[in-house]
Amino acid sequence: MTAACPACPPMPDTTGAAPEGGVQISLPTIHCAACMAGVERALSRVDGVISARVNLGLKRVRIETVPGLGAEPCLAAIRAAGYDALELDTDALGGEGDATGRSLLIAIGVAGFAMMNVMLLSVSVWSGATDATRDMFHWISAMIALPAVAYAGRPFFSSAWAALRAGRLNMEVPISLALILACGMSLYETLESGRHAYFDAALSLTFFLLIGRYLDHRTRIAARSAARELAALEPSRAERVTRGGTETVPVAQVQVGDLLHVPAGMRVPLDGVLIRGETTLDRGLVTGESQPMAAGPGDTLVAGEVNLSGAIKMRVTAVGDDTTLRRMAALVEVAETARNKYSGLADRAAAIYAPAVHLLALLAFLGWVWASGDLRLSLNIAIAVLIITCPCALGLAVPAVSTAASGRLFRRGVLLKNATALERLAEVDCVVFDKTGTLTDGRAIPQQGPDAAGMGVLKALALASHHPVARGLLAGLPDIVAADLTEVQEHRGDGVSATWQGRPVALGRGGWLGGTANPTLKIGDRLYPLQTGEQMRPGVAQAVAGLHAMGIDTLLLTGDTAHAADKIALAAGIAQAQADMRPEDKVRVLDGLRAQGRRALMVGDGLNDTPALASAFVSMAPASAMDAARVVSDMVLLNPDVSVLPEAVDLARRARKRIVQNFATAGLYNLVAVPLALAGFATPLMAALAMSTSSITVLLNALRMRT
């Protein structure tokens, strides 16, 4: 009958809290028993490690250490064993022991146990037990069912109570009402030695709905813990300069006026002023500019910029909520609230369904009272209607599909952060790309061509120039000694010329030096074409072509110059490109799209994209993006490859179709069963059949998404 296998517990995704004084390390590349054994063995040889246990599902190792041992020796040991290792900020991960998930599972277990036993008794009643036997079976059922429903139904009762107190109706209200009425009426019928008791229906209702509940919870918790993990990937520490040297402290402990040391290659932790040292800064993540900028004493530094070339000292001018980053994030919150008003398919269905069900049951009651004058019979029929229409399959329709779909998207490297992101992704009809960091790698690339001495000359010339391109070149150069130049002269708009070991050397525009490539290095008479800046990421053209094939428009918005924008748009196949966009301009473009009724997916990574990401219909940021951009995005792209986009949209569309199908299936069962219930022919057997078969159909249909 109810072959829903109550003995098969669904897979939980719980993560216990880290032991105190422990270290957690993310292991993105492990995948098998050998990896686990390798990591654990490597860690067991580290002094001070008490124990280490790899969690393959989470790709994470939890290490218990003696107090005072940091993560560094563990990271080194794992890397030496040949695996990638990234430290996780245990504070940011927080105590994520999934207590709710666990109590839901226990509730499912209790409901499953009670359902099995009551069903066993009900089967004998349906097959013809009468008189004293039937009464006894009803009594035993009541003794099992009443406490089980009271215990396992708590999530629904509390949610319904909260909604009623706020004067609203939600899906849990008809569920709770059906549960309470079914139990109450069955108890009354049992007392009166009646024929029909709905204890089994009440229990299977609880059981199936709890499964839906749990799937929903699991999807949310998985997204949340992964998002937390992303935030925890870069523990924010700063090197504070003290009288005795430097000490590493958490960013939260740094105060305004502190002196910080920022080594080359590190991110600027807080806003401040550069006081010693010369360097180039990658402001790409903050401003979206692809070219590194030179900075010297007196220049302002913004948290999030990357210090590329030289070690610097800075004086902190703002901490915590006063930093530019945080203020930008506050702006974003305003835009976000508008988007959170999107109501998913389930909510829309519930808004129609819940009142309709109540009304139908009430009408059935009144109709039968008027027709027969028998209160008990009328109440029986009204409750049968309520039980049969109870949104059992409806409660499973959405979570089952979104669990299957988001699991598949995760395997393809797309992480859903927002519960309604999948549904919104399905409605997308245009995609707006940011350029730098999304379609292109903004970092300077290493040069090939000149020999070691030539590289020294290049570095010296680049150092002499103030042009942004030269700064970009500089950032891409290896750590070499600059050549000694004499007669250095900068030619505005053309480049730099100088003399090196008696030979004329120059760096500049190709046309100026008689070459074609921009820029060109000239040593004596030889020309060396150089590579600059941006390279399109693999898979971009493919992704754009795929989106066009699905009838989705593409648009490129960038803060870069029109020349750079056109070049990338042409290479990627994007028809429309708009350059020189400030963050406000991007928001305006997206608002314009919204006003035209378009549903835009924004893909961007910079802080300058953050307001645009927040105001888009649905948004996506690569995992390499700024924290702020990742936080506001609905989805995170775990690998920098955007070629997965068409597949993701296709999957979302199929998921949406599957959800609608599920609603239709559930509706079909109701369409057959409700008239029978209204006519008074409904029996507990029928209710059990309709409920189980519709729930199982819906679950199976959802599982087809997995393949």
Partner 1 sequence: MNILVILVPVSLVLGGIWLGGFIWALKGDQFEDLEGDAQRILFDEADQPPEDTREG
**How far apart, in whole angstroms, are the C-alpha atoms of residue 593 and residue 575?**
16
φ, ψ of residue 384 to 5 degrees: the values are -60, -40
- Is the CB of 97 or the CB of 592 nearer to partner 1? 97
- Distance (Å, rounded) from C-alpha 145 to C-alpha 182? 11
Residue closer to partner 1, measured from CB, 20 or 487: 20
CB-nearer residue toward partner 1: 112 or 174: 112
In angstroms, give the least distance from the CB of 412 to partner 1: 18
**CB of 214 or CB of 669, closer to partner 1:** 214
From 29, 76, 91, 102, residue interacting with partner 1 (rule: CB under 8 A) = 102
Angle at 437 between CA 333 and CA 629, to 5 degrees: 15
Under rule CB under 8 A, residue 19 binds partner 1: yes
Q: Are strands 293-295 and 312-318 parallel, antiparallel or unpaired?
A: unpaired
By rule CB under 8 A, what count of residues binds partner 1?
Answer: 37
**Minimum CB distance to partner 1 smaller for 37 or for 273:** 37
Return the residues of window 220-239 that contact partner 1 according to CB under 8 A.
none
Alpha carbons 510 and 661: distance in angstroms, whole number:
62
Burial 419-428 (b: 16+ CB within 10 A, else e): bbbbbbbbeb
583 Cβ contact list (under 8 Å, min separation 6):
608, 609, 610, 611, 612
Q: What is the dihedral of CA 169, 175, 178, 183, to 10 degrees?
A: -130
| Residue 197 engages partner 1 in binding (rule: CB under 8 A) | no
Does 16 bind partner 1 (CB under 8 A)? Our answer is: yes
Q: Tell me the window of 102-110, 187-195, 265-273, 682-690 that interacts with partner 1 (CB under 8 A).
A: 102-110
Tell me, what amino acid is at 313? K
| CB closer to partner 1, 136 vs 575 | 136
**Three-state SS at 603:** strand
- 22-51: contacts with partner 1 (CB under 8 A): 32-33, 36-37, 50-51
Q: Strands 635-637 and 618-622: what pairing?
A: parallel
Region of 108-116, 498-506, 605-613, 630-638 interacting with partner 1 (CB under 8 A): 108-116
Sorted by sequence, the CB contacts under 8 Å of residue 646 that are 6+ apart come out as 543, 546, 547, 549, 550
From 21, 73, 109, 529, residue interacting with partner 1 (rule: CB under 8 A): 109
Work out the angle at residue 468's Cα, subtended by the Cα atoms of residues 462 and 474, and round it to the nearest 5 degrees: 35
Q: From the CB of 55, what's the least distance to partner 1, in Å?
A: 4
Among 5, 20, 47, 57, binds partner 1 (CB under 8 A): 57
Query: Catalytic residue numbers?
Result: 434
Which position among 106, 191, 575, 664 is part of the footprint of partner 1 (CB under 8 A)? 106
Least separation, in Å, of the C-beta of 56 and partner 1?
Answer: 3
What minimum distance in Å lies between the beta carbon of 533 and partner 1?
42
Q: Could you tell me how many residues make up the chain?
A: 707
Chain positions 394 to 433 lying near partner 1, rule: CB under 8 A, are none
| Residue with Cβ nearer partner 1 (121 or 477) | 121
- The residue (of 148 and 628) whose beta carbon lies closer to partner 1 is 148
Shortest spacing between CB 32 and partner 1, in angstroms:
6
Binding residue (CB under 8 A) for partner 1 from 7, 330, 352, 452: 7
Backbone dihedral region of 343: left (phi > 0), alpha (psi from -120 to 50 degrees) or beta?
beta
Span 455-484, contacts to partner 1 by CB under 8 A: none
Residue 106 amino acid letter: I
Give me the 123-162 binding string for partner 1, x by CB under 8 A, dash otherwise: ----------x--x---x---x------------------
The residues near 223 (Cβ < 8 Å, ≥ 6 apart) are 406, 415, 416, 417, 418
Check if the beta carbon of residue 400 is closer than 8 Å to that of residue 209.
no
Q: Which residues form the interface with partner 1 (CB under 8 A)?
A: 7, 9, 11-12, 14-16, 19, 32-33, 36-37, 50-58, 64, 102, 105-106, 109-110, 112-113, 116-117, 120-121, 133, 136, 140, 144
